[in-house]
Structure formats: structure tokens, C-alpha cells
């Protein structure tokens, strides 16, 4: 007689303790990276819901990417210099958030920096050292001051031609925020969402939280930090794999929009925040602005935790601020 | 059977989607169905045969379920390995025997795990059952049908449990596939199954005798080589049909809900003409009632196809590959691109965060090496042993049992005869 699964599960083993010693990992490629939803075995009944919500990533991508001809953002970039362009409520709200973040990070987070990335060759993934004039020409196109958001009409207008918006440093976190909210709305209590490993969102978290290591591809031998995370997001940014080396100096692909030159001094910047979109954006901002900016920001924004590892000298991770759902188990010390 | 990554993604997603909302799905992520000490204490167990397969079962027996009192093997080297396994897993040493009858006489064991060479199954298992012991015997059930029937009768006569070690019956993935897809008719009408187990290598093993004066002839093996390579000689073995085919034919029997009616087969010693007797290439067409046919092939000259069971229905195709991966394809329908993987939990972090990487090596983590595994192939053995102990202690049902094992034994024994006679034989 073949026992049914129910019979197997109800076998008398004395004190039955339901054990789920497996992970279930759902993955989908979108936004040029891998989106993952990790569920514990006991939450297997949530697999269909998780699969449905991965569809949401594609919807977000269709709206926000600059790499698809038909995206809302591409349309906006093409026309907003000529006349105000109406944006969907979702896109408009996100752009408003980006403007706010630009101000709060003293210009370190800037969604208009695309001309600089192009000038340094990072858009084509072929980094090069541009001439000073090229950098200055690109800088002239950059700046949130050239972007006018009209909340009453929900329109976007560029004040000069050549302005380009790129949501690459907030889009993945934003997508996770969306999926996370929808999954929680469907009663999901525990899941770990991630995109490319650089954007992470923890829903719930058993046994003190999801155990996460922060690492850098530059220093694969070291764990920069180990933390347990409950109900919070982790964004990570770094100068990492894409760089250009000129005269012995290594220039990473994250460009400081304020100087026009690649950001220097930070190997890896991670931010833990309630909001996955903010965690993502702030990680980029702190990668650009360094520990000074992180300290100033965290001092005025409670419930923000920043982990910064400098690129020079021994690997040592500086811990700035705090987040109630994050327990730091380990931070690299020199 | 090789699928592109895209096809794998589609197939996995379809498989899970088909299980959505069924109890079958809940079982997928759960390898060990339950844990904890067995009421009444662990079952006192003796092992007869602790070579490759017996060694796996010894390792996978959780102490909460079974206490290893004694181990028996005609090869002292295997006894030493078994002792090392027990030590490695923190269990007390077991007494050692060369002769299984001594073990039965001297040890107060309730159950015996038999993993001796096939030709000894009937004698040892019947002896154990007649001595009032419960038995879990490795597959194939017996060297011939008469032996298997003798085992079945001995279990009934003595009112003892006899389970045969077809671990697929304890694999949550197979359970889920049967409950959630086959039973629910997701495949439509299924007329054909393909069973393949393709390898590229020599089945012959090499090794040195445990001591220069070791004499295996008292155990029925003229030379140590015969003991080591018992699988290659008809006196001890039924070849690929028994060692590999019986697993897959058992699954076909299970999913078709029937026993085969006839078998036609072909094969021979084609590649390794080194004095072996059993075939290194075999092919069988196994007919079931209602016009259903399974085709089994096992070859030792190419491994591209791998090993899998594939059920081809009017509405869909179910593929169970390598005991670890499941795919479902609907006839004439395209699917989406989500992949689903099941992996063991390990002690490490569940995720490695970092700046986004070009090739996206990041974010995959979950304990590095441990995550890349899919369903742990060993967990069905663990479940099998736990369920057997539970059956002994509290009478819960076993998954395979003598009747099912007999059905595949009949087909596999007959398949070898069909090869020899170059004909189709009724069952």
C-alpha cells in the first residue's frame, strides 16, 4: 500500500515537529539581472503566489527601463525637452522621490548622470578616460535642476535638451518594493527577495532574521559584513567590476555627478532601510558621497543603517546608524 | 534527454504550477517528513551486506529511528568501512559478523537491512523473516521470481514487514508527481513512457582482497574478483535490468497503476568483452494493459542522455530526471521563464549581497556549494529508513512492499530471458 503524502506526514514519530530543511528558490531574469524569491520549505504553498508576483517585475521593467524602446521612460526622455510630457502616477511618484533623494543626499544621488556614464564609456561597457572638455560638456547636461515636475498636471519637462533620466540605481529596489507589498498583501509572512544581489528585501524572517553576507567582487576573500535581517531592505553599491585604469589609477563605473569623475574611496556601500527603493538609491549615494555623507544622512534620518568599506587600506567596514530589524553579527575589521 | 536552460525553466515552472493548490506541492520542499524520537525508542537493527548500497543505508539511518546493533559482511574491509561510518556519524560501534545466521542467533535485533548481492536475497530474507525479524531488502527483490515469491510468503506467514528498497517511492518529487499530476489526469491519456539509464563506463570494479590469504570460496565466490564484480556474472546477478531497470519499471508500474503483460528485449555484451556474462547494453519494450508501452534502455557506451523517466500523454509530458529534477510540458502550449529550484538548507548565509555583478554571479547564494544542489538525492534513503522503522515500531504503512517489488522483478527477470530467446515473452 502506497501511503499518501498525508499519511507520510502524519506518521507517528513521537513528538512530530514539522521540519522544512529545504529552500525553494524562484528565479526570473528581468532588468538585465536575476530576480529571486526565496521561500522556506514550510511555505511551499506560497510558490504560486510568488510566481505570479514575479510577473510584476516585467511590468515594472516595461515602465522604467531605458533599454526598451517602448518604455514610458524612453518616451519621456525623447520628448520632455520639447514640451511637458504626462507621466503615469507611478512613474511620476518615483521621479518625485528621486528628486527628494537628490536633495537629501546633497546631489550624490542623481538620475540625470547618464551623459557622464556615456562619456566615460561605461554605458557601452568599455571604460575610457575622456578628455577634460568631454567631461565638462557632459556635466553641463547633468542636473536635477533641469527637470521640472508639475504635480498638478503630473507632467515632466526638461529645461534643456540633452537631459536623460535613468532609474538604474533605484529601479531594482523599487521593483522589490512593489513585489514585496503585493506578496504581503497576499498573506505571505516570510520571503527573501533579491535582484542581482545588490537589492534585497526581507519579508519577515524566522529565527532572528535572514542570514545575509555582504561581499565585494573586488575582495572575494573577505566577508565585509554578516547580518540578520527582518522586515527590511538592503541595497549595495560599489565601484567593482566595471572600471577603467589609467596611469595606475583605477576609476570605477559609479560617477560622482557633482564632479563628473568616478567616485573614489569606497569599495562597497550597503544601506539597510525599510524601503527597498531607498536602500538601493542611498547605497549609490553613499558610494559617491562616502562616509561623511552617510554620517550626515543617518544623523537626520533614523532607522537607516549604512555599512561602508573604504577601497584603500586594509578591509574594514564602518558601521553608521542603525536599523531595528537588522542585527549585525560581523563587520570586517582591519 | 537534454533540455535547453529555457526548456528547463519552462518545464519546472509548469510542474510546480500543475501542483499549485494541491497537497502534493507542500511535500516538495520537505525532505524529512517529520523528526523526533520514535515512541518506544529506536528500532534495534542489524545490517547484512554493508558494501556500496548497504553503506548508504547505514549512513542515512538516523539514530532517532534505528540503532545499529550489528553489521555483517563476508568482506572484512566492508566491515571496517561500516565501523568508520558509525564512528564518523557519532554512533556507538556495532558488533561484526561474517555469517548472517550468526548475527540472527546472537543479536536481539528486531529488523534486518539486507543489502547483500542479489543471488543471496531470497535465502537471507526468508531466514530473517522466519526468525521473526522485519526486513528491508535492497532491490531487486530476488534473483528469480520463485525466490521473490518465497520472500513474500515468508513475510505473510510470519506477519513481518518486508520492504524492498526502491527509494523513488520515498522521493517527495515522485510523490508529488504521482499525486498532483498523474492522478489528477494532467497528462491526459498516457500510452508511452520512456525509461533510460545511460552511462559511459565500465561496470567492472577493481580492488584488492582484504588480506593475502582471503578465501571467498566459502561464500560461493571462486575468486575475490567474483565477489567484487558479482554484478557481472549470471550466477549472482540479473544485470542492468535488475540493478537499474527495476527502479524505473517500478515507477512505470506505479504511474500506470498496472503490472506489465509482456516484454520484448534485446541486448548483449557489446563493448566490454572482458569475460563478463551480463549484458552491457540492454533494450526492452514492456507492454501494459490498455495499449500502454514503456521502452527501457540502458547502455554503457554513452551518457549524453543521462537517466530519467518520461511519461508522454495526450495532454502533456512529465519528465523525472536523475531522481532530482522534474519537468512538465503541456502539449502545444508555451510557458513562461521562471525557474524553480529546491535545495537543502545549510548553515551558511541564505544570500550573498554585493554590488550588482556583470554576469550576476551574486545573489545566488544560500550556502555556496550546498545551494547548487537540487533535491538531495540521499534524502529519499533517509525517509525510506525512517518510514521502515516507523512501520516496525508503530505499524505505519510502507511505500513499496513485496507485491509491487514482485511485479517489477517478474518483468526484469523475463526481460533477460527475452534477450536470450530473442523473442517477446508474456508475463
Residue by residue, what is the 3-state secondary structure of chain A? Answer: CCCCHHHHHCCCCCCCECCCCEEEEEEEEECCEEEEEEEEHHHHHHHHHHHHHHHHHHHHHHHHCCCCCCCHHHHHHHHCCCCCEECCHHHHHHHHHHHHHHHHCCCCCCCCCHHHHHHCCCCCCCCCCCCHHHHHHHHHHCCHHHEEEECCCCEEEECCCCCCCCCCCCHHHHHHHHHHHHHHHCCCCCEEEEECCCEEEEECCCCCCEEEEEECCCCCCCEEEEEEECCEEEEEEECCCCEEEECCEEEECCECCCCCCECCCEEEEEEEECCHHHHHHHHHHHHHHHHHHHHHHHHHCCCCEEEEEECCCCCCCEEEECCCCEEEEEECCC
Q: Check pLDDT > 70 for residue B363.
A: no
pLDDT at residue B24 in the model: 60
The domain ranges of chain A are 9-57+172-331, 67-158
Nearest CA in chain B to A236: B355
Rounded mean pLDDT, B83-89? 96
Task: Please give the order of strands across the beta sheet that includes B43-48.
Answer: B95-97, B66-72, B43-48, B111-114, B134-138, B162-165
pLDDT at B375: 53
Is the pLDDT assigned to residue B45 strictly greater than 50? yes
Buried b (16+ CB within 10 A) or exposed e, A67-93: eeeebbbbebbeebbeebbebeeebbe
The predicted structure's pLDDT at residue B23:
60
Average model confidence (pLDDT) for chain B?
88
Grid cell for residue B400: 513499496
Cβ-defined contact of B34 to A42 (cutoff 8 Å): no
What is the distance between the alpha carbons of residues B98 and B71, in angstroms, rounded to a whole number? 9
Interface contact flag, B350 A22, Cβ < 8 Å: no
Q: What cell does A274 get?
A: 525599510
Select from B175, B353, B383 the Cβ nearest to the Cβ of A234: B353
- Residue A101 pLDDT > 90, yes or no? yes
Kindly tell me if the per-residue pLDDT of B6 is higher than 90. Answer: no
Digit-coded pLDDT (tens) for A55-95: 788 778 777 776 566 678 888 999 999 999 999 998 999 99
Q: Pick the residue from chain A with its C-alpha nearest to B19.
A: A48
What average pLDDT does the structure give for chain A? 88
The ipTM assigned to this model is 0.84
Residue of B nearest to A33 (CA): B360
Pairwise CB contact (< 8 Å): A198 & B399: no
Residue in this structure with the C-alpha cell 554620517, named with its chain if needed: A295
The maximal CA–CA distance of chain A, rounded, in angstroms, is: 81
CA distance B228 to B205: 7
pLDDT (tens digit, 9 = 90+) per residue, A124-164? 777 888 999 999 999 999 999 999 999 999 999 999 999 99
Other Cβ atoms within 10 Å of B237 Cβ, number:
24
CB A5 within 8 A of CB B171: no
Q: Which residues pair with B164 in a beta bridge?
A: B137
pLDDT score for B94 = 97
Among A308-322, B256-270, B386-400, where is mean pLDDT lowest?
A: B386-400
Section A273-285 average pLDDT: 97
Statement: residue B258 has pLDDT above 80: yes
CB-based contacts of B112, cutoff 8 Å, min separation 6: B45, B46, B47, B48, B103, B104, B124, B128, B133, B134, B135, B136
Size of interface A-B (CB pairs under 8 A): 245
> Could you say which of B27, B169, B342 has the minimum Cβ distance to residue A5?
B27
Cβ distance A196 to B357 less than 8 Å, yes or no, reads yes
Report the residue of B64, B353, B367, B379 to disrupt the A interface, i.e. the one with the largest count of A CBs within 10 Å: B353
Residue A288: the pLDDT is 95
B182-223 pLDDT, tens digit each: 987 889 899 999 999 999 999 999 999 999 999 999 999 999
> Tens digit of pLDDT for each residue in A198-229?
999 999 999 899 999 999 988 888 999 999 99
The pLDDT tens digits of the residues spanning A290-330 come to 999 999 999 999 999 999 999 888 999 999 999 999 999 99
Q: What is the dihedral of CA B127, B128, B133, B137, to 10 degrees?
A: -130
Indicate whether B60 pLDDT > 60: yes
Mutate to test the interface with A, among B62, B176, B344, B356 (most CBs of A within 10 A): B356
Q: CA angle, corner B197, sides to B192 and B200, nearest 5?
A: 145
A247: distance to nearest CA of chain B, Å? Answer: 24
Q: A9-57+172-331 adopts what CATH topology?
A: T-fold (3.10.520)
What are the cell numbers at A127? 571604460
**How far, in Å, CA of B277 to CA of B256, rounded?**
32
Cβ separation B353–A28 shorter than 8 A:
no
Taking the model in full, what pTM does it have?
0.56
Question: What is the pLDDT, as a whole number, of residue B364?
Answer: 37
User: Residue A121 in contact with residue A128, Cβ under 8 Å?
Assistant: yes
Per-residue H/E/C for chain B: CCCCHHHHHHHHHHHHHHHCCCHHHHHHCCCCCCECCCCCCCEEEEEECCCHHHHHHHHHCCCCCEEEEEEECCCHHHHHHHHHHHHHCCCCCCEEECCHHHHHHHCCCCEEEECCCHHHHHHHHHHHHHCCCEEEEECCCCCCHHHHHHHHHHHHHHCCCEEEECHHHHCHHHHHHHHHHHCCCCCCCEEEEEEEEECECCCCCCCCCCCCCCCHHHHCCCCHHHHHCHHHCCCCCCHHHHHHHHHHHHHHHHHHCCCCCEEEEEEECCCCCCCCCCCCEEEEEEEECCCEEEEEEEECECCCCCEEEEEEECCEEEEEECCCEEEEEECCCCCCCCEEEEEECCCCCCEEECCCCCCCCCCCCCCCHHHHCCCCCCHHHHHHHHHHHHHHHHCCCCCCHHHHHHHHHHHHHHHHHHHHHCCEEEC
Q: Beta partners for B352?
A: A213
Overall residue count recorded for chain B in this entry: 427
Cβ distance of B365 and A210 shorter than 8 Å: no
B285-315 pLDDT, tens per residue? Answer: 999 999 999 999 999 999 999 999 999 998 8
Angle, helices B5-19 vs A47-64, to 10°: value is: 130
Q: Which residues of B touch A45 (CB under 8 A)?
A: 25-26
pLDDT at position B28 is: 56
| Residues B352, B349: Cα–Cα separation, whole Å | 7
- pLDDT score, position A11: 39
Cα separation values, B159 from B112, B151, B399, Å: 15, 12, 17
Q: Is the pLDDT of residue A284 over 70?
A: yes
Handedness of CA B212, B120, B97, B205 (dihedral sign): positive
* Contact partners, residue B136, CB within 8 Å, separation at least 6: B57, B111, B112, B113, B114, B163, B164, B165, B384, B385, B388
DSSP lists the bridge partners of residue A156 as A85, A149
Contacts with A194 from chain B: Cβ below 8 Å? 351, 353, 363
The candidate with the shortest Cα–Cα distance to A108, out of A254, A318, A301, is A254
Helix pair B145-158, B121-130: axis angle to 10 deg: 10
Residues 6+ positions from B167 with CB-CB distance below 8 Å: B323, B380, B381, B384
For the residues B385-391, what does the mean pLDDT come to?
A: 91
CA separation for the pair A226, B350 (Å, rounded): 11
**Residue pair A61/A31 in contact by the 8 Å Cβ criterion:** yes
Cα B241 to Cα B245: distance, rounded to the nearest angstrom:
4
**Cα separation, B119 vs B242, whole angstroms:** 11
- What are the tens digits of pLDDT across the range B324-352? 888 988 776 433 456 677 777 778 889 99
Supply A225's cell numbers: 559584513
Class of A67-158 in CATH:
mainly alpha
Amino acid at each position: 500500500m502506497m501511503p499518501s503524502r498525508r499519511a507520510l506526514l502524519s506518521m507517528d514519530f513521537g513528538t512530530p515537529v514539522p521540519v522544512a530543511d529545504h529552500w525553494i528558490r524562484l528565479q526570473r531574469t528581468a532588468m538585465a539581472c536575476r530576480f529571486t524569491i526565496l521561500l522556506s520549505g514550510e511555505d511551499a504553498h506560497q510558490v504560486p503566489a510568488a510566481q505570479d508576483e514575479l510577473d510584476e517585475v516585467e511590468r515594472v521593467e516595461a515602465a522604467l527601463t531605458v533599454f526598451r524602446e517602448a518604455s514610458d521612460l524612453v518616451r519621456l526622455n525623447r520628448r520632455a525637452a520639447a514640451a511637458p510630457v504626462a507621466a503615469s502616477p507611478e512613474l511620476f511618484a518615483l521621479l518625485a522621490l528621486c528628486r527628494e533623494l537628490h536633495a537629501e543626499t546633497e546631489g550624490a544621488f542623481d538620475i540625470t548622470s547618464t551623459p557622464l556614464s556615456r562619456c566615460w564609456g561605461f554605458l557601452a561597457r568599455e571604460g575610457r578616460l575622456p578628455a577634460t572638455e568631454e567631461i565638462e560638456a557632459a556635466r553641463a547636461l547633468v542636473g536635477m535642476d533641469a527637470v521640472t515636475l508639475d504635480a498638478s498636471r503630473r507632467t515632466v519637462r526638461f529645461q534643456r535638451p540633452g537631459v536623460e533620466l535613468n532609474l538604474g540605481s533605484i529601479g531594482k529596489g523599487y521593483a522589490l518594493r512593489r513585489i514585496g507589498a503585493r506578496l504581503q498583501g497576499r498573506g505571505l509572512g516570510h520571503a527573501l527577495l533579491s535582484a542581482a544581489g545588490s537589492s534585497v528585501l526581507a519579508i519577515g524572517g524566522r529565527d532572528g532574521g535572514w542570514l545575509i553576507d555582504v561581499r565585494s567582487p573586488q575582495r572575494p576573500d573577505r566577508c565585509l559584513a554578516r547580518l540578520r535581517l527582518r522586515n527590511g531592505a538592503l541595497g549595495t553599491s560599489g565601484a567593482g567590476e566595471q572600471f577603467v585604469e589609467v596611469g595606475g589609477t583605477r576609476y570605477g563605473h559609479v560617477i560622482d555627478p557633482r564632479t563628473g569623475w568616478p567616485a573614489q574611496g569606497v569599495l562597497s556601500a550597503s544601506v539597510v532601510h525599510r524601503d527597498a527603493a531607498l536602500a538601493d538609491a542611498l547605497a549609490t549615494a553613499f558610494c559617491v558621497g562616502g562616509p561623511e555623507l552617510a554620517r550626515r544622512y543617518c544623523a537626520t534620518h533614523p532607522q537607516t543603517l549604512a555599512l561602508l568599506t573604504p577601497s584603500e587600506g586594509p578591509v574594514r567596514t564602518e558601521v553608521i546608524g542603525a536599523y531595528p530589524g537588522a542585527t549585525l553579527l560581523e563587520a570586517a575589521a582591519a | 534527454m537534454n533540455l535547453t536552460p529555457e526548456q528547463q525553466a519552462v518545464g519546472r515552472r509548469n510542474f510546480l504550477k500543475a501542483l499549485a493548490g494541491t497537497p502534493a506541492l507542500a511535500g516538495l520542499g520537505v525532505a524529512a517528513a517529520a523528526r523526533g524520537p520514535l515512541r518506544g525508542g529506536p528500532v534495534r537493527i542489524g545490517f547484512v551486506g554493508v558494501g556500496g548500497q548497504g553503506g548508504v543505508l547505514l549512513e542515512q539511518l538516523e539514530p532517532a529511528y534505528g540503532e545499529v546493533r550489528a553489521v555483517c559482511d563476508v568482506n572484512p574491509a566492508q566491515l571496517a568501512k561500516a565501523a568508520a561510518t558509525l564512528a564518523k556519524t557519532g554512533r556507538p560501534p556495532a558488533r561484526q559478523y561474517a555469517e548472517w545466521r550468526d548475527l540472527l542467533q546472537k543479536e536481539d535485533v528486531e529488523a534486518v537491512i539486507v543489502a547483500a548481492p542479489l543471488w543471496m536475497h531470497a535465502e537471507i530474507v526468508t531466514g530473517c523473516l522466519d526468525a521473526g525479524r522485519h526486513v528491508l531488502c535492497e532491490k531487486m527483490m530476488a534473483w528469480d521470481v520463485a525466490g521473490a515469491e518465497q520472500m513474500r510468503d515468508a513475510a505473510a506467514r510470519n506477519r513481518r514487514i518486508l520492504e524492498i528498497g526502491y527509494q523513488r517511492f520515498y522521493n517527495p518529487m515522485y510523490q508529488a508527481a504521482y499525486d498532483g499530476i498523474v492522478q489528477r489526469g494532467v497528462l491526459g491519456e498516457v500510452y508511452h513512457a520512456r525509461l533510460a539509464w545511460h552511462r559511459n563506463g565500465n561496470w567492472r570494479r577493481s580492488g584488492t582482497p582484504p588480506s593475502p590469504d582471503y578465501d571467498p570460496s566459502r561464500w560461493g565466490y571462486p575468486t575475490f574478483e567474483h565477489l567484487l564484480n558479482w554484478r557481472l556474472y549470471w550466477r549472482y546477478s540479473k544485470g542492468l535490468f535488475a540493478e537499474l531497470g527495476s527502479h524505473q519499471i517500478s515507477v512505470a508500474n506505479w504511474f500506470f497503476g498496472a503490472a506489465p503483460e509482456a516484454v520484448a528485449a534485446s541486448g548483449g555484451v557489446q563493448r566490454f568483452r572482458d569475460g563478463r556474462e551480463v549484458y552491457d547494453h540492454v533494450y526492452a519494450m514492456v507492454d501494459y494493459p490498455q495499449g500502454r508501452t514503456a521502452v527501457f534502455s540502458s547502455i554503457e557506451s554513452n551518457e549524453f542522455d543521462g537517466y530519467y523517466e518520461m511519461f508522454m500523454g495526450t495532454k502533456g509530458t512529465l519528465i523525472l530526471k536523475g531522481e532530482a529534477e522534474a519537468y512538465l510540458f503541456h502539449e502545444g502550449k508555451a510557458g513562461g521563464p521562471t525557474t524553480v529550484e529546491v535545495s537543502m538548507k545549510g548553515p551558511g548565509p541564505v544570500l550573498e549581497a554585493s554590488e550588482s555583478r556583470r554576469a550576476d554571479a551574486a545573489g545566488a547564494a544560500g550556502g555556496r556549494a550546498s545551494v547548487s544542489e537540487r533535491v538531495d538525492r540521499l534524502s529519499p534513503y533517509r525517509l525510506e529508513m525512517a518510514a521502515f522503522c516507523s512501520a516496525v515500531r508503530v505499524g505505519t504503512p510502507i511505500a513499496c512492499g513485496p507485491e509491487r517489488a514482485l511485479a517489477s522483478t517478474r518483468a526484469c527477470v523475463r526481460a533477460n530471458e527475452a534477450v536470450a530467446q530473442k523473442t517477446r515473452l508474456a508475463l
